[in-house]
């Protein structure tokens, strides 16, 4: 499970929207990303890595707080 609120907060803090994360970081549709945010489908380790790279999240503690809830 992912801490959606923290992920969204970090996305906004860095000046992006969910759409940017979906299309630019994960290379998926906004609808597919929304399903992941609603826990209908799961974020993969590749998703987590791509999102962190795109958002510039390098702190391992923050990565764990978002993706290892």
Domain count for the chain: 1
User: Is residue 25 within 8 Å of 51, Cβ to Cβ?
Assistant: yes
Q: 1 falls in which pLDDT band (50, 70, 90)?
A: confident
Structure tokens given for 6: 């923290």
User: Is residue 24 within 8 Å of 54, Cβ to Cβ?
Assistant: yes
CATH code, domain with 39: 1.10.260
Domain that holds residue 49: 4-67
Instruction: State the Cα angle at 10 between 14 and 23, rounded to 5°.
Output: 70
- Note the pTM of the prediction, 2 decimals: 0.91
pLDDT more than 90, % of the chain: 94
Distance of alpha carbon 40 from alpha carbon 67, whole angstroms: 16
The tens digit of pLDDT for each residue in 5-31 reads: 999 999 999 999 999 999 999 999 999
User: Is residue 26 within 8 Å of 67, Cβ to Cβ?
Assistant: no
Return the pLDDT at 69: 67
């Amino acid at each position: 499970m992912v801490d959606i609120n923290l992920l969204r907060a970090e996305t906004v803090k860095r000046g992006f929207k969910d759409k940017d994360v979906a299309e630019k970081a994960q290379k998926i549709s906004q609808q597919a990303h929304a399903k992941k945010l609603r826990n209908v489908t799961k974020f993969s380790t590749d998703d987590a890595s791509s999102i962190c790279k795109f958002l510039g999240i390098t702190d391992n503690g923050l990565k764990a707080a978002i993706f290892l809830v």
